[in-house]
Amino acid sequence: MRVLVTGASGYVGGRLVPLLLDAGHDVRCLARTPDKLRDHPWRDRVDVVRGDVTDGSGLAEALAGVDTAYYLVHAMGGGRGFAGQDALGARVFACAAEKAGVGRVVYLGGLAPEGVPLSAHMASRSEVGEILLASAVPAVVLRAAVIIGSGSASFEMLRHLTERLPVMTTPRWVRSRVQPIAVRDVLRLLVESAELPPGTDRTFDVGGPEVLTYAEMIQRFAAVAGIRRRWIIPVPVLSPGLSSLWVGLVTPVPPSIARPLVESLRHDAVTREDDLSDLLDDHDRLRFDEAVRLALRRVDQARVDTRWSSAAWPTAPSDPLPTDPDWAGGSLYTDERSRPVDAPPDRLWAVVEGIGGEQGWYSWPLAWAARGWIDLAVGGVGLRRGRRDPRRLRAGDSVDFWRVEEIVPGELLRLRAEMRLPGLAWLELGVGREDGRTVYRQRALFRPRGLAGHLYWKAVTPFHGLVFGSMARNIARRAGHEG
């Protein structure tokens, strides 16, 4: 089957394309800026057409010969006039799909209650669904509430609020009932929607197996993430506008994104039917805790990139994508440094591999000793373990209060901290070549757990120049002098 995906550079579209390919479909993508798809690993397996749903450019070419078209375009930021633009795009697309003889349009909208005034955001999404259903082309409109997966705006707001606020005064919407659904379940249903009986033309509510209040989702997230139970104090005075500013203040989610999310939480978002599951004979849904666990696994399982690139492509829909916004994927603080070295790579590597133990850490011995004493005082391992061999390391070795997590001889040494910390920490030391010169690369990473983790990083950041800066200088100097 030939399918078209609009919005392939977005959160859902970028995860849907590889699943459609795996299902054996011939995939084409419509993009206003095709270069945004350039670095996706599936780029060479799809056709890409430059076009825009609002002015109709490229639609005839993109829709030619298409059996099913996925319409995943939506102005999430909600700037002035966004609803009109959304409606215009849907009408232009529906008309072009009719002319091209498309067999079906599939749209992912929002789950909203009936008979109550909707936020501008939810009203716009509902209007787009109605426009598509009113066209001559059969439409399948899936309506979902909070989607649980790394990179989902709703999930990221939940993640950051829970991690950063042990005590929070919250608006009344924390009592709203929500039926969250895992992103992998949404994507599977989208893929399977292409196989529905011909002529299927209606909306379907989709949700997970549990109905929770937003406050319950916060507490369940905290339990899965291994942080303490949160104290939630609802207050009646925060309007959606003030709430979005509050969310923007305590989380990295931009207010322009937070506002439509907050406004959509004013009402319950619970499914009224589960007909799609019956039609597809697909009733298997992840429970909330498991969906959260999958969304958190990339960092919690210490999958830090080994090749000094910004991120690794995921192996599951719940994982973050490099194309997700900067505020997605949770907090991962970094301190990166590099220095040219007047020595061949093998000599620099010998210094890197010999770090720790009797050799020390090449910077402020008293500071490292003090950190070891503090760790011992709070029940940690301290610096007393040393290392197995003074010159050689292998994966799994202990090095003072670090553990060798990854070693690529001559290139990379990654150490995982085993000291007592409010989070997870790694130290990477690397050897490379740039412009014919040896280069030393150093990166410290910290994944905070709860507010204490964020405060810890802020507290130690002023000392990084002394500790990590001197480490980089001294390792480079030591490698040069050993010649």
DSSP assignment, residue 53?
A: T
DSSP assignment, residue 32?
A: S
What Å distances lie between residue 123 and 102, 264, 322, CA to CA?
26, 10, 31
Mean pLDDT, rounded, of the chain: 84
pLDDT for 312: 38
pLDDT for 310: 33
Q: Given a cut of 60, is residue 313 above it in pLDDT?
A: no
The domain covering 2-300 belongs, at the CATH homologous superfamily level, to: NAD(P)-binding Rossmann-like Domain (3.40.50.720)
Phi, psi of 283 (to 5 degrees): -110, 5
Q: List the chain domain ranges.
A: 2-300, 333-481
pLDDT band at residue 79 under the 50/70/90 scheme: low
Classified as helix, coil or strand, 376 is helix
Q: What is the mean pLDDT of residues 287-316?
A: 59
H or E, element range at 131: helix 120-134
Q: Give the integer Cα–Cα distance in Å for 29 and 17.
A: 9
Classified as helix, coil or strand, 478 is helix
Residue-wise DSSP of 253-319: S-HHHHHHHHHHTTS-B--S--HHHHHHT------HHHHHHHHHHHHHTT---SSS-S-PPPSSTTS
pLDDT for 351: 95
State pLDDT tens for residues 447-464. 887 778 888 899 989 888
pLDDT band at residue 308 under the 50/70/90 scheme: very low
pLDDT for 255: 67
State pLDDT tens for residues 125-153. 899 999 999 999 999 999 999 999 988 88
pLDDT band at residue 338 under the 50/70/90 scheme: very high
State pLDDT tens for residues 227-253. 889 888 877 665 656 666 667 666 777
Look at 70-84, 170-184, 293-307, 469-483 and tell me which has the smallest mean pLDDT: 293-307
pLDDT for 304: 41
Please indicate whether residue 249 or residue 212 has the higher confidence score (pLDDT). 212
State pLDDT tens for residues 371-393. 777 777 766 666 667 788 888 99
This prediction's pTM: 0.71
Q: Given a cut of 90, is residue 120 above it in pLDDT?
A: no
Provide CATH code, domain 333-481: 3.30.530.20
Q: Given a cut of 70, is residue 210 above it in pLDDT?
A: yes
DSSP assignment, residue 197?
A: P
Q: Give the integer Cα–Cα distance in Å for 51 and 40.
A: 19
Dihedral (Cα; 75, 81, 85, 88), 10-degree rounding: 150
Please return the burial class of 365, using the count of CB atoms within 10 Å of its CB with bins 0-12, 13-18 and 19+.
exposed
pLDDT for 106: 97
